[in-house]
Amino acid sequence: MDDVRMIEIKEDIMADNNQVAAGVRDRLCGQKTMLLNLMSSPGSGKTSLILKTIEALKNNLKIGVIEADIESKVDAEKVASQGIAAVQLRTGGLCHLDATMVTQGLDALAAQDFDLLILENVGNLVCPAEFDTGAHKNVMILSVPEGDDKPIKYPLMFSICDVLLVNKIDYLPLSDFDAAALRKRVLALNPKIKIMEISCKTGEGIRDWISWLTREIAAFRRG
Amino acid sequence: MHELPVTESILKIVLAHAEKNDVRRVMTIQLQVGRLSDLEDDWMQRYFDYVSKGTLAEGAKLQIERTPIRLTCNACAYIYTADDASQIDKPCPKCGRKDVTLISGREYFIKNMEVL
Range of the domain at B99: 3-115
Q: How far is CA A98 from the centre of its chain?
A: 12
Q: State the Cα–Cα distance between residues A187 and B93, nearest whole angstrom.
A: 18
- The pLDDT score that the predictor gives to residue A168 is 98
- The pLDDT score that the predictor gives to residue B87 is 75
Which residues face B114 on adjacent strands?
Answer: A6, B28
The pLDDT tens digits of the residues spanning B50-94 come to 999 999 999 999 999 999 999 999 899 999 998 887 777 678 999
Complete domains list, chain A, with CATH = 15-222 (3.40.50.300)
- The pLDDT score that the predictor gives to residue B106 is 83
Q: Cβ(A41)–Cβ(A67) under 8 Å?
A: no
> With contacts defined as CB-CB under 8 Å, which chain A residues touch B18?
7
With a cut of 70, which residues of chain A have pLDDT below it? Answer: 1-2, 69-72
Q: How many CB pairs under 8 A join A and B?
A: 98
How many angstroms separate the Cα of B68 from the Cα of each of A15, A133, B81? 21, 26, 7
The pLDDT tens digits of the residues spanning A136-158 come to 999 999 999 999 999 988 988 99
Q: Which of residues 40-79 of B touch A (CB under 8 A)?
A: none
> With contacts defined as CB-CB under 8 Å, which chain B residues touch A95?
1-2
Find the CATH number of the domain harbouring B14: 3.30.2320.80
Q: State the Cα–Cα distance between residues A103 and B60, nearest whole angstrom.
A: 33
First vs last C-alpha separation in chain A: 61
pLDDT bucket at B107, cuts 50 / 70 / 90: confident
Give the count of domains, chain B.
1
